[in-house]
């Protein structure tokens, strides 16, 4: 693996050309001083590399697959990476200032911000979704009724295990978003956690707080508003609401960086967080939080309208667009919307049709695996078998996409046909919903309702 690491480092121009280096579930992600020097064919010829994806703004992605963590560690442990040959912080800033901002720079930055806010959370989301899938299997075989009014203590504890991830997801997103925008991630995390404390949630108690008024809306859900001074404060449950940190952190970053410019360095550690809290915490509670929920509900309502009025069309459109969104990293807004649907309504209707794309992708990979075995193509058999395992058991599509489908374009029409057929079946069957965010795989089929339509 060390040869692979060294070859990749050489192919991207060495440590001196790297300004930032990280990875996601399947890809090495580079921010470079100059990406034009990279020979894409040379990169893709490296043993262990499934594909190379040039990005705008001197960003570059190299697809590795399931071994990405070990390759990432190998590169960081190379002597040249440890010797200080990488670009200095001043070099990075100078290179960033020198880069021309293209007409799509803001759009690219927006999607990169979304991606980097969610990408590190993939492992914990996958782990939590598998806990829920395990409980769904126990329910389906009659071991326990997960919907009973009275449940055993062990089930209540296991529910707390997976719910911990989804309830505190806004805090995790805030941490990653803050790191992405180069501010103290714990400040951003603390702002979101202030909305999840028992003290904030306890403001709904009308007996304890006379200023609080709770009413039932048309859907039967409770809405509470309290008065802080003369200002109305909407008391929402922000657990699982990912749009809140995504909107809050950029505003916090502007304030945080501005404060660091005007506050003396020897007292920044105290007063920058203090002033940030005193401004951003109330701003988030009074304005950003309610606005974020309104945006999420509006987007979800639009898709719900399409799903309600043209369910078959909706079930076909979703799986068809995903094969084009995922390679570009543009699927994160839909993922955020799925999480917002679950937090607001308790279920999501997008992931069901989305599953048609996943299984069409994995089905095409299975076909390639069969052909590679028949033709005794050892390299493709290894690629396809690893990609199929990652897909069927982990719900990860990138090894299939970059290792096979994008390299052999004639597979795409066949995969899209599978997307249409799968979406049509789900649409005719009335759709499929889930009450949690999951990665579509064989292991998570039980969390969808009705399972017969989805499976």
H or E segment and range at residue 92 = helix 89-98
Contact at 8 Å (CB) between 26 and 402?
A: yes
What strands, in cross-sheet order, belong to the sheet with 231-235?
213-216, 222-228, 231-235
Q: Please tell me the predicted confidence (pLDDT) of residue 91.
A: 46
Q: Please tell me the predicted confidence (pLDDT) of residue 319.
A: 92
Whole-number Å distance between alpha carbons of 346 and 234: 20
The residues, any chain, with a CB within 8 Å of residue 200's CB and separated by 6 or more, are 194, 235, 285
Among candidate residues 85, 80, 87, 82, the one with its CA nearest the CA of residue 6: 80
Centroid of chain to Cα 231? 35
Contact at 8 Å (CB) between 24 and 123?
A: no
Phi, psi of 409 (to 5 degrees): -60, -25
How do residues 105-116 score in pLDDT, each as one tens digit? 677 778 778 878
Whole-number Å distance between alpha carbons of 157 and 247: 32
The overall longest dimension of the chain from CA atoms, in Å, is 76
Burial (Cβ within 10 Å: 0-12, 13-18, ≥19) of residue 110:
middle
Low-confidence ranges of the chain (pLDDT < 50): 86-101, 219
Among candidate residues 26, 82, 32, 48, the one with its CA nearest the CA of residue 394: 26
The residues, any chain, with a CB within 8 Å of residue 443's CB and separated by 6 or more, are 130, 133, 393
Contact at 8 Å (CB) between 205 and 269?
A: no
Contact at 8 Å (CB) between 75 and 5?
A: yes
At which residue do the structure tokens 């202030």 appear? Answer: 194
Whole-number Å distance between alpha carbons of 447 and 454: 10
Among candidate residues 390, 385, 357, the one with its CA nearest the CA of residue 371: 385
Q: Please tell me the predicted confidence (pLDDT) of residue 250.
A: 96
Among candidate residues 196, 200, 176, 298, the one with its CA nearest the CA of residue 249: 176
Please report the beta strands in 9-157, taking only residues with DSSP state E, as ranges in sequence order: 18-23, 27-32, 51-54, 59-63
The residues, any chain, with a CB within 8 Å of residue 428's CB and separated by 6 or more, are 312
Neighbours of 229 (CB within 10 A): 7
Neighbours of 5 (CB within 10 A): 22
Q: Please tell me the predicted confidence (pLDDT) of residue 320.
A: 92
Among candidate residues 450, 442, 418, the one with its CA nearest the CA of residue 352: 450
The encoded tokens of residue 288 equal 């950003």
Q: Please tell me the predicted confidence (pLDDT) of residue 94.
A: 46
Is the bond preceding 13 in cis, omega lying within 30 degrees of 0? no
pTM metric for this prediction:
0.74
- Contacts from 197-203 at CB under 8 Å and sequence distance 24+? 200/235, 200/285, 201/235, 201/237, 203/233, 203/235
Contact at 8 Å (CB) between 188 and 178?
A: yes
Whole-number Å distance between alpha carbons of 404 and 364: 9
H or E segment and range at residue 231 = strand 231-235
Give the domains, in start order, of the chain with CATH numbers: 2-100 (3.30.1360.60), 308-454 (no CATH)
Whole-number Å distance between alpha carbons of 370 and 376: 10
Q: What is the dihedral of CA 108, 110, 116, 119, to 10 degrees?
A: -90
């Amino acid at each position: 693996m060390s040869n692979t690491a060294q070859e990749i480092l050489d192919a991207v121009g060495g440590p001196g050309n790297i300004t930032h280096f990280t990875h996601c579930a399947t890809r090495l992600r580079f921010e470079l001083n100059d990406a034009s020097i990279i020979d894409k064919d040379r990169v893709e010829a490296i043993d262990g590399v499934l594909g190379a994806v040039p990005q705008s703004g001197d960003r570059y992605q190299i697809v590795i697959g399931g071994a990405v963590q070990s390759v990432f560690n190998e590169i960081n442990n190379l002597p040249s990476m440890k010797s200080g040959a990488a670009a200095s912080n001043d070099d990075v800033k100078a290179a960033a200032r020198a880069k021309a901002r293209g007409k799509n720079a803001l759009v690219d930055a927006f999607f990169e911000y979304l991606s980097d806010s969610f990408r590190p959370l993939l492992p914990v989301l996958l782990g939590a979704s598998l806990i829920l899938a395990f409980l769904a299997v126990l329910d389906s075989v009659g071991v326990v009724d997960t919907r009973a009014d009275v449940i055993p203590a062990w089930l209540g504890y296991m529910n707390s295990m997976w719910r911990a991830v989804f309830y505190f997801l806004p805090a995790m997103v805030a941490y990653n978003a803050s790191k992405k925008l180069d501010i103290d991630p714990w400040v951003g995390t603390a702002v979101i956690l202030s909305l999840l404390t028992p003290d904030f949630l306890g403001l709904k108690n009308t007996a304890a707080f006379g200023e609080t008024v709770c009413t039932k809306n048309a859907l039967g859900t409770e809405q509470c508003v309290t008065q802080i001074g003369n200002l109305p404060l909407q008391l929402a449950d922000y657990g699982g609401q990912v749009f809140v940190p995504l909107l809050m952190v950029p505003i916090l970053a502007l304030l945080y960086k501005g404060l660091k410019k005007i506050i003396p360095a020897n007292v920044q550690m105290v007063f920058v967080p203090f002033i940030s809290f005193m401004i951003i915490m109330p701003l988030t509670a009074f304005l950003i939080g309610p606005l974020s929920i309104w945006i999420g509900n509006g987007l979800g309502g639009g898709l719900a309208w399409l799903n309600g009025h043209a369910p078959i069309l909706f079930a076909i459109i979703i799986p068809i667009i995903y094969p084009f969104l995922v390679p570009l990293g543009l699927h994160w807004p839909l993922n955020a919307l799925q999480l917002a649907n679950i937090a607001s309504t308790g279920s999501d209707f997008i992931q069901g049709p989305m599953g048609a794309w996943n299984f069409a992708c994995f089905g095409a990979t299975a076909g390639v695996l069969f052909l590679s075995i028949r033709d005794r193509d050892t390299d493709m058999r290894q690629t396809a078998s690893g990609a199929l395992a990652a897909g069927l058991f982990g719900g990860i599509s990138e090894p299939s996409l970059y290792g096979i489908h994008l390299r052999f374009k004639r597979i795409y029409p066949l995969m899209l046909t599978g997307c249409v057929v799968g979406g049509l079946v789900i649409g005719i069957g009335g759709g499929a919903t889930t009450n949690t965010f999951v990665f579509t795989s064989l292991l998570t089929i039980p969390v969808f309702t009705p399972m017969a339509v989805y499976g």
